[in-house]
Structure 1
């Protein structure tokens, strides 16, 4: 996800210190959420073997579903970032999200 490993002496207040038997052995600097989204998008491109903008509509809808499950849209400008990566408008991303919500509601109603 883009974390950085540091020497314990280089750790800042918000870094995570890892200890072994009471001694700090390394520090981990976690990326900003927006940086994590970029890493997730890059990993998805590698998984699909092509730029996300070249995927068909169904595959793009699946990407949006996975990203929503990972919290990508809670990041500031997340919808805009994803829309740019997919080569679609923000409106299209919102449509994909609304479609997924509607499908989940239907599935929930069927199981009752």
Structure 2
């Protein structure tokens, strides 16, 4: 069984370079053999449940040794509906459906570049001004919230 952990270490002051505690936590996850996605607001690590669970103490220790004052952790089964989708008929749902129609595919079926384009299109339409939109868009894309934030922070 595979699990995914999303973790955010603090403090984060918006530095141009990631803080040492975030880099060390990511490195600990990768050293354990987990696949990671590293972003400005957090890291996700994915792998076999036993490997991930065994690596958590090392990840936490690495973040703390790197200067973290706190660490937030969420664990889930990949693909599990942990986030609420956009309410059917809501403004956000309509925006998502319009982007899907323009791109000719459900958001979850797009490749990485397509998902990045979809996020940019949604951002241009003001989708991320709506409450809890990042979680709903992540659900529609089939990615983590942190991945959506990474896409938002990428250069077009």
Q: TM-score, normalised by structure 1?
A: 0.56
- Residue matched to 1:84: 139
> Quick one: which of 88, 91, 104 aligns to 1:36?
91
Residues 1:58 and 2:113 aligned together: yes
* Higher strand fraction (1 or 2): 2
Within 2, Cα distance between the matches of 1:69 and 1:46? 16
User: What does residue range 1-112 of structure 1 map to in structure 2 within 5 Å?
Assistant: 35-100=90-155
Larger radius of gyration: 1
Is the 2:127–2:133 Cα contact (8 Å) retained in structure 1? yes
CA distance in 2, matches of 1:86, 1:66: 13
**CA drift at 1:37:** 1.0
Q: CA deviation at 1:48?
A: 2.5
What is the root-mean-square deviation in Å for CA atoms of aligned residues?
1.6
Residue in structure 2 matched with residue 107 of structure 1 by the alignment: none
Structure with greater contact order relative to length (CA < 8 Å, sep ≥ 6):
2
Instruction: Give the drift of 1:42.
Output: 1.1
TM-aligned CA deviation for residue 98 of structure 1:
1.0
Give 1 or 2: higher helix fraction: 1
CA distance in 2, matches of 1:73, 1:79: 6
Moved over 6 A (4+): none
TM-score (norm 2): 0.41
Unaligned runs of 5+ in 2: 1-88
Secondary structure of the corresponding residue to residue 92 of structure 2: helix
Tell me, what secondary structure is at the counterpart of 1:93? helix
